[in-house]
Amino acid sequence: MDKMEIIELEQEKPKPEFNFKTARTSGRMIFETNNLVIGYTSPLSKPIEFRLERNQKIAITGANGLGKTTLIKSLLGIIKPISGFVTKGEFLEVGYFEQEIKDANHNTCIEEVWQDFPSLDQRDIRTMLAKCGLTTKHIESKVMVLSGGEQAKVRLCKLMNKPTNVLILDEPTNHLDIYAKDELKRALKEYKGTVLLICHEPEFYEDFVDHIIDCKQWSNKI
Ligand SMILES: Nc1ncnc2c1ncn2[C@@H]1O[C@H](COP(=O)(O)OP(=O)(O)OP(=O)(O)O)[C@@H](O)[C@H]1O
Ligand SMILES: [Mg+2]
């Protein structure tokens, strides 16, 4: 009887296995900024000189609302700078994990992942999702009914199966349970590309990053 209960519990909580696929090597410079001032209508920052090089792993930290997400979106060209420039390197294959996805997603998890990998068959998609720690019930559910942690696993599933050489991760650990967090940490340590990570948890990143940038050094809000 004891044994049966253990088996059942393990089935309910499958352990995730994260492995990020890598693309061809990028150029040496990934992002470089010159006098970059970020913001929407008014400047959020002083001029920022930031350079990210191939294979560096950098964490960006700092209090809420200082402009970490805005910096990342400015580097990616999603938001126009108030002034100054961003230069992007060559042959970048960027994987971007957004902090928040606000729109309700009516796709099932299978549909959500399949649309990014249309040449695979449904069994492959199910296997990919199961490897990310999702149960059959989750996999067949609509993304919008899943918990924050389960939705993060669906997004990580899409991200890690696409070959990349740069990962830009905006608070990826926010909703993850301890098993998923440890596994993500292991996978990022092992990743053979460049990582730019926003995170509020030093115990998550301090083992594998080369630099930590506190955005209070350029924020206008301090
Ligand atoms: N689309 C927008 N239009 C105008 N202002 C915005 C917009 N998005 C964010 N802001 C403002 O810009 C500032 C910086 O926001 P940002 O999301 O970059 O902060 P953050 O450092 O990522 O914070 P957190 O740790 O909470 O994620 C905040 O004051 C925020 O209210
Ligand atoms: Mg943010």
What crossing angle do the helices spanning 148-161 and 122-131 adopt, rounded to 10°? Answer: 120
Closest residue by Cα to atom 5, ligand 1, is 40
Taking the CA of residue 70 as reference, the ligand 1 atom at the shortest distance is 18
Low-confidence ranges of the chain (pLDDT < 50): 8
pLDDT in tens, 165-192: 999 999 999 999 999 999 999 999 999 9
- Structure-block tokens of residue 84: 């100054």
Rounded CA separation 113/155 (Å): 8
One-letter amino acid of 153:
K
Distance 2 CA to ligand 2 centre (A): 45
Query: Contact at 8 Å (CB) between 91 and 24?
Result: yes
Task: Report how far ligand 1's centroid is from the alpha carbon of 136 (Å).
Answer: 36
